[in-house]
Every structure is written in structure tokens, then in C-alpha cells.
Amino acid sequence: MKKKLYIVLFLTAILLTGIIVLQLYWSFTAYKLNKEKFDGDINIAMQRALDSCKKDYFDSIRVVMVKRLSAPGITIKFDTLPSADTAHLVMLISVANKYTNFGNQPYNTTIPDYNFYKKRLRAGASIPEVLTEISFYQPMLMEKLITLLGMEDTMGNFLDEIAYHKAHPGRSINTLNKRLDAIRSLPDKGTYEMPPNYRKADSLKLNYYFKKALQQMHPRMRKFDFDLDFSDKPIPADEPGPHVIDQLRYSETEQFTYKYHGFVFLEHSDKDVLYVRARFNRAQIGILSEMVIILGLSALLIVFTKFCLFYIIRTIIQQKKLTELKDDFINNMTHELKTPIATITVAIEGLQKFNGLNDPEKTQRYLQTSRNELSRLDGLVTKVLNVAAFERKKVVLIKERIAIDELMNELIAAEKQKTAKEVSITYINRDGITAIEADKMHLRNVMLNLVDNAIKYATEPVDIEIDLTKQHKYAVFSIKDNGMGIPAKHIKHVFDKFHRVPAGNVHNVKGTGLGLNYVKYMVEAHGGKISVNSKVNKGSEFTVTIPIKNG
């Protein structure tokens, strides 16, 4: 049996190790797949963030252009060309300010196209709003409008300088040179001027939209720890460390260009274009947070598997112990049954072969011996049947009012009569309890088992003290002996079925291992409880607490 148990343990350990390795491999593979998906998603998120910035950019440009085209100095004229196709009349659009205009090249469109863009806007949209809307889809018109506005800014500042010189003819050469330098920088002012701190503003805006796009794509990811690099020069990609761990925790986006500030994008110019790249130095934190449910279920599966295997092994060991206890029980019962049978056989042979029937005194002695042994056999069989009955939950308690002193005195007298040991049993009813409502037969068997064990496991002279006290609505029996005591490691098992405390040669103290198990069941069936306190070579004390009135 031991060898088979070791084989089961070995196979279980291999199975558990295999499950753990498989789960770890599966988790690692799942992490790699999520990492690859994350590396692709951050590029998509960056593109979405740039699209959001582009939308904000166009909205802001639209506001600026509508405001500039609505200024008092701006003149917008419409004209049509005669045509046989009246459904698609050509519309000529000219825009002018006090400095410049579209010249001899007005912008050409058709009335249906104009109305198409007008319908895209709110009802009652102004002409500057319609022209701005058209310019976003017609690059030629956008180029004409930007040139017009740029010339307005440049010429306005230039004329202001001329007026300044006329008003101050006596200025020094240095002052004039400074003013000339200002004139040379005029093309970078006005329409072409970059917003103040535009790089910081663009960085904050892109950071916000990038994080928002990531949250939409990975809602279960709790933290996005990244650095957003902005530069006016290309940003080279970083290579992760040579170790696998470095590669699994580092991510970065591709390089993207950002030019959504001022009129840079609309001019199709590479001037003031920024390069951007996002780097994740601890990408594993976000990826693992997104996998927490999967990893938790995997860990739970491992724990559950370990618990199941542990439970199976524990059950096998318990069954092994139970089998050993049953074997001991059968051996003990065999000896318990053989002794009275052998005694009865000897008595019968004495009557048959040695003329015992002719001697009345001898006949009575042999018959009394046979009766006693038969009574002992009946007790053994009854004990086994009782245990079988309460295991099947078929014990029915017949409760009645029991005169407790009478029951205990009768039991003590019977125990003294049947034992060959020198026994002293003291019974004291300290609180004068007169009666207890219980099943008389089973209560008697409970006390009989406890007193019988006290006698069996004690050396002569046997001293047993039985105290009965009252605690609230309960009767408390204390059965104390001066026996061999119970080792500490056996205390918690004394009420287990088939369990017997070792007592040297097992046949010196006869028993089945069922008595205390029966006692505990019956006490609890009456709504009570039993406990034991014992010291080796000092003796044991069993305490039985049952309700005085049951039902």
C-alpha cells in the first residue's frame, strides 16, 4: 500500500508541475501576443491623436479666416459668365483688401458647387464662412486667400514703417537699421507668425489625445506610462536591450510628423514641422493590468488544481488509515469473539466429558460461565449494531424521565461485579439533580462505556470519581480515573471510529475502537457535548454535558 501511495504522490507531483508549467507557458505566450497587439495599437492611437489635433487645427483656422475675411477692409465680389448651360453657371469670386486682390485671376467655381458647400454649414451662414469652407477642399482658393491675408499683414506693417520715417526724418542711422531689420522680418509676422509657446501647447494637446485614444482602445488598461518626444529634427528609433525581458517591456511608436500650428499645414511647407515619437519604457505594467483577469483565472486554476490533488491525496491517506483501523478492528473483534466462544466450548466439554451433569454444583457453575460469556457476546454484537445504526442515522431516541441516582448506582454495582480488578467508584450528585429526560438505554450505555474504559485502562487499585453538577439547564457528568492517560497526539482522535490508543500489547486491553465514537454520537444526539482532558500516567477526565430537559 505504501509503494502505491508513493507512486500516486509521484504522479500527482508530475501532473501538478506539468499544469503549472503549461499555465506559465500559456500566460507568457498570451503576454507576447498582447505585447505585439499593443505595439500595433500605439501607432493607431498616435494616428488618431494626430487626426484629433488636425480637427482642432482646422476648427481654429476656420475661426481665424472667417474673422479676417469679415474685417471691414475686405471686399468680396461675385460674378457669373454667360453660358448656355444655365444649370451650371460659372461663378467668379474675387476678394480684395486695400493693399491687394485676386487681380485678373478670380477664383472660378459653379453655382451648384457653391450651394453644395453652403448647405454643409448652418442655415444663414455668411459669405466668409462659405468661402472658408470651400477653401478647405479647394487648395487653389486656400492659396489665394492665404496670399491675400499675408500681403495685407506685410504691406500694412511696411506702410506703417514709411509713415514712421516721414514723421521722424531726423532719426539716427542705428535706429533706421533696426527698423529695416524689422521690415525684413515682416514676412514672418501676422498670418505667417507662429503662436507663442506652440511646441509646448502642441505637446500637451497631442499627449491628451494620445492618452485618450489609448484608453478607448484599451479600456481595461489602468496606466499609460510613456514619454512623448517632440523635436524639429528626425527622432531615431531606440533599440531595446539584448535581454528578452528588455524586449518584452519596451515599446515605441513609429516616427510621425506634426505640423498643425499656424498656417504651416495649409501652406504645404516643411518649415516648422515637428517630429514626434512616443516611448513606453515600462509597457509591461499596462499590458499586465489588462491581463489581470486572465492571469487571475490562471492562478485560480492552479490553486484549484492543487487543492483538488491535495484533497484526493488526503482522501487516499485517510482511506489507508481507515483500512488499517478496520483491519485492527477485525483483529480485535476476532479475539474478543474467540475468547467467550472458547470459554463456552470448554464449559460444554466439561459437562459432556467429565460427568459435569452428574454434579449439580459444577453444572450450575459451567452454565453460569456460559451465560456470562453469551451476555458478553451479546454486548459486543449490540455495540457493533448500534454503531451501524447511528451511521445510517436510524437511531430513534425514546426519551423518558430517568431517576439519575438510581441509574448511576445500578451501573456502578454492575461494573464492580463484572470486573476482576480492585475498583473504587465514587459517585456524588453535588447539586441534587433528581431526574434527567433522556433515552435510558443509550444514556446508560454512554456512562457504561466511560466507566468501563476507566477500569480497563487503569492499573490496580482503580480509583474512579463521578461528579454530577448543574450548569444552567445542563447536567454535567465528570468521570475521572487514575489510569494510564492518553498521549497528546491521540486526544483529538479518541472519538474517531475504530481508533484505539496504544496500550503496550494490544490484547492486554480489549476493545473494538467503537465505544467512544458511539458515546460522542449519542451525547450530541441528546443535544449535549463531550470533552476529554488527560495526562499520561496521571489519568483522564471525560466531561459529558447534556440538557436536563430534552424536547
Write down the mean pLDDT value for the chain. 81
| 8 Å CB contact between 34 and 287 | yes
Structure confidence at residue 7 as a pLDDT band (50, 70, 90):
confident
pLDDT digits (tens, 9 = 90+) for 286-317: 888 888 888 888 888 888 888 888 888 888 88
Q: Which of the two residues, 102 and 391, has the higher pLDDT score?
A: 102
The pair phi, psi for residue 90, each rounded to 5°, is: -80, 130
* Grid cell at residue 263: 498656417
Location of C-alpha cell 480488578:
421
Residue 429 has what pLDDT? 93
Segment among 88-92, 266-270, 351-355 with least mean pLDDT: 266-270
Structure confidence at residue 356 as a pLDDT band (50, 70, 90):
low
d(CA 65, CA 326) in angstroms, rounded, equals: 99
pLDDT digits (tens, 9 = 90+) for 119-150: 999 888 999 999 999 988 888 888 888 888 87
For CATH 1.10.287.130, the residue range(s) in the chain are 288-388
Residue 261 has what pLDDT? 72
CA-closest candidate to residue 370, choices 338, 351, 354, 347: 347
Structure confidence at residue 185 as a pLDDT band (50, 70, 90):
very low
Structure confidence at residue 187 as a pLDDT band (50, 70, 90):
very low
pLDDT digits (tens, 9 = 90+) for 454-497: 888 888 888 999 999 999 899 999 999 988 888 888 888 888 87
Task: Compute the chain's Rg from CA coordinates.
Answer: 53
* Highest averaged pLDDT of the listed ranges 154-163, 258-267, 358-367, 517-526: 517-526
Residue 174 has what pLDDT? 56
Residue 474 has what pLDDT? 93
Regarding the domain delimited by 288-388, which CATH topology (the fold level of the hierarchy) does it fall under?
Answer: Helix Hairpins (1.10.287)
Q: Which of the two residues, 263 and 476, has the higher pLDDT score?
A: 476
Residue 398 in this model has a pLDDT that exceeds 90: no
Regarding the domain delimited by 395-503+510-547, which CATH topology (the fold level of the hierarchy) does it fall under?
Answer: Heat Shock Protein 90 (3.30.565)
Residue 5 has what pLDDT? 73
Residue 8 has what pLDDT? 79
Segment among 159-173, 227-241, 521-535 with least mean pLDDT: 159-173
Residue 448 has what pLDDT? 87
Q: Which of the two residues, 506 and 300, has the higher pLDDT score?
A: 300
CA-closest candidate to residue 493, choices 525, 447, 534, 522: 534
What count of other Cβ atoms lies within 10 Å of the Cβ of residue 464?
Answer: 22
Structure confidence at residue 505 as a pLDDT band (50, 70, 90):
very low
Segment among 301-315, 347-361, 443-457 with least mean pLDDT: 347-361
- The amino acid sitting at 487 is P
Residue 172 has what pLDDT? 53
For residue 455, CA distances in Å to 416, 448, 459 come to 9, 11, 8
Residue 291 has what pLDDT? 83
Residues 6+ apart with CB under 8 A from 422: 460, 461, 462
pLDDT digits (tens, 9 = 90+) for 40-83: 999 999 999 999 988 888 888 888 889 889 988 899 999 988 87
| 8 Å CB contact between 519 and 545 | no
Q: How much is the average pLDDT of 356-380? A: 76
Q: Which of the two residues, 344 and 542, has the higher pLDDT score?
A: 542
Q: How much is the average pLDDT of 379-391? A: 67
Residue 237 has what pLDDT? 87
d(CA 293, CA 117) in angstroms, rounded, equals: 51
Residue 184 has what pLDDT? 45
In terms of Cβ atoms closer than 10 Å to its own Cβ (0-12, 13-18, 19+), residue 67 is: exposed
Structure confidence at residue 93 as a pLDDT band (50, 70, 90):
very high
For CATH 3.30.565.10, the residue range(s) in the chain are 395-503+510-547
d(CA 111, CA 356) in angstroms, rounded, equals: 145
Segment among 32-41, 142-151, 439-448 with least mean pLDDT: 142-151
